[in-house]
C-alpha cells in the first residue's frame, strides 16, 4: 500500500518536473489540427475550418496553462483536450462522414484519461472519473458510428479512392502516434519511479541497519552477519569493547562530548578492521566486532584499537580528553553456539574491567 502511495506521489511530481512531455502531446495535437485546417480549407468545408481554428485556440490555451507551472491547473488541460477531441470527432463525422477515420481519435482518450486522472487526482474518485470518462469515450465512438449509419454527411466529398484512403491513413497514423506517445510516457515514468523506489528502499535499508550516531552497524545488522557466518560454517572471532568510565565522561563533560567520544572510537575501530570484519554498536557504549580474520590476528587488531584509543585526544568545544577502552576477545568454532561465544567475549571484557581497565583480554591471557 505504501509503495502505491509512493508511486502516485512520484507521478504527481512528474507532472510538475516534466512538463515537456505534456507540451509535446499538446503541440503534436495542435499540429494535427493545423494540417486539418489546411485540408478542410482546401476542400471548402467551412464549418470544419471554423472548428479547427477553435481547436487550435483551445490548445494554445492549454500550452499557456502548462507554461504557467500551476499544477492544480493541469487537470484543465486534460478536460479541454478530452472534450475537444470528442466534439471534433462528432462534428467531423456529421460534416464529412465516418469513413475518413476522425472518430479514431476518441480511442486514444481512454488510456490518456486513466494516466492523467491517476497523476492529477486524489483518492478513489480518480478511478471513478477515469472509468466514467472512458465509458463516455466508448459511447461517443459508438454514437459517431451509429450517426453515420442513419444520417449522411452534410458535405459529401467526391474524392478519388486514393485521396479518401490517404486521409483515413493520416488520421489512423496520428491516432496510433498519440497512443504510442502516451504509452512511452507511462513506461518512462514507471521506470523512473521504479529506480526512485529502489533508491528509497536502499536508503531505508541503510537507515534500518546503521546506527545514526556512530555510523556503525546496529544490533539488528549484527544478527544478520551472525546468520551468514554460521550458515557458512566458518571460524571467526568476536571482540567485545566497552569505553572505560563513559558515564563519568557524560556527567563531567556533557552528552555532546560523550557522543564525540563514541563516534571517534567507532571510527578508530572501523579503520583497524576495514575489510576484515563488521563493527557494530551493540548497545550504549559497547561495541561488538565480528572478525573474519584468524584469532591471532584478531587479538592483534584488538590491541591496536586499544592503543589508538589510548593515544587519541578527544576534543569538543575547546575541551580535550583522553579515554581508554577495554576489550574481550573470543574465538568461535564452527558448530558451537554463538551465544556462548558472545558470553565468553563479554566475560573477558568484564575480567578486564575488574583488573584495571584499558586492557585486551584474550583466550591467551584470560587465566
Task: Quickly list H helices, 44-124.
Answer: 46-68, 74-96, 104-107, 109-120
Q: Which residues are catalytic?
A: 285
CA gyration radius for the chain? 36
CB 277 within 8 A of CB 222: no
Give the N- to C-terminal CA distance of the chain in Å, as an integer: 57
- Cell 587465566 locates to 367
DSSP letters spanning 169-186: HHHHHHHHHHHHHHHHHH
Determine how many CB atoms are found less than 10 A away from the CB of residue 330: 24
How far apart (Å, rounded) are the C-alpha atoms in residues 194 and 293?
A: 39
Largest CA distance in the chain: 110
330: which strand partners?
238
Helix axis angle, 219-232 to 161-209, nearest 10°: 90
> How many Cα atoms occupy the beta-carbon half-sphere of 169 within 13 Å?
6
51: exposed, middle or buried (C-beta count within 10 Å: 0-12, 13-18, 19+)? buried
Amino acid at each position: 500500500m505504501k509503495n502505491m502511495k509512493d508511486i502516485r506521489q512520484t507521478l504527481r511530481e512528474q507532472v510538475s518536473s516534466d512538463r515537456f512531455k505534456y507540451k509535446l502531446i499538446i503541440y503534436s495535437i495542435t499540429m494535427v489540427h493545423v494540417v486539418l485546417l489546411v485540408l478542410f480549407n482546401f476542400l471548402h468545408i467551412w464549418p470544419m475550418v471554423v472548428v479547427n481554428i477553435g481547436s487550435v485556440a483551445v490548445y494554445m490555451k492549454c500550452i499557456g496553462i502548462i507554461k504557467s507551472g500551476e499544477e492544480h491547473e493541469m487537470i484543465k488541460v486534460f478536460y479541454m483536450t478530452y472534450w475537444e477531441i470528442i466534439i471534433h470527432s462528432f462534428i467531423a463525422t456529421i460534416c464529412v462522414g465516418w469513413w475518413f477515420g476522425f472518430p479514431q481519435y476518441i480511442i486514444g482518450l481512454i488510456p490518456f484519461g486513466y494516466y492523467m486522472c491517476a497523476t492529477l487526482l486524489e483518492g478513489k474518485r480518480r478511478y471513478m472519473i477515469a472509468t466514467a470518462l472512458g465509458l463516455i469515450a466508448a459511447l461517443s465512438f459508438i454514437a459517431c458510428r451509429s450517426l453515420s449509419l442513419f444520417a449522411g454527411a452534410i458535405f459529401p466529398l467526391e474524392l478519388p479512392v486514393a485521396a479518401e484512403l490517404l486521409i483515413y491513413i493520416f488520421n489512423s497514423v496520428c491516432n496510433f502516434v498519440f497512443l504510442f506517445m502516451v504509452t512511452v510516457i507511462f513506461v518512462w515514468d514507471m521506470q523512473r519511479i521504479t529506480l526512485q523506489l529502489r533508491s528509497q528502499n536502499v536508503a531505508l535499508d541503510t537507515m534500518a541497519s546503521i546506527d545514526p550516531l556512530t555510523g556503525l552497524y546496529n544490533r539488528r545488522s549484527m544478527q544478520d552477519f551472525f546468520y551468514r557466518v554460521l550458515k557458512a560454517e566458518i571460524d571467526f572471532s568476536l571482540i567485545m569493547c566497552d569505553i572505560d568510565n563513559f558515564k563519568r565522561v557524560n556527567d563531567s563533560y556533557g552528552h555532546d562530548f560523550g557522543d564525540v567520544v563514541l563516534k571517534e572510537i567507532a571510527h578508530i575501530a572501523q579503520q583497524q578492521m576495514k575489510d576484515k570484519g563488521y563493527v557494530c554498536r551493540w548497545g550504549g557504549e559497547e561495541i561488538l566486532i565480528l572478525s573474519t580474520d584468524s584469532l591471532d590476528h584478531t587479538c592483534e587488531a584488538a590491541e591496536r584499537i586499544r592503543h589508538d584509543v589510548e593515544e587519541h585526544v578527544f576534543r569538543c568545544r575547546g575541551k580535550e580528553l583522553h579515554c581508554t577502552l577495554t576489550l574481550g576477545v573470543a574465538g568461535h568454532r564452527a558448530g558451537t553456539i554463538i551465544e556462548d561465544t558472545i558470553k565468553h567475549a563479554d566475560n573477558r571484557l568484564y575480567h578486564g574491567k575488574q583488573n584495571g581497565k584499558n586492557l585486551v583480554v584474550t583466550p591467551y591471557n584470560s587465566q
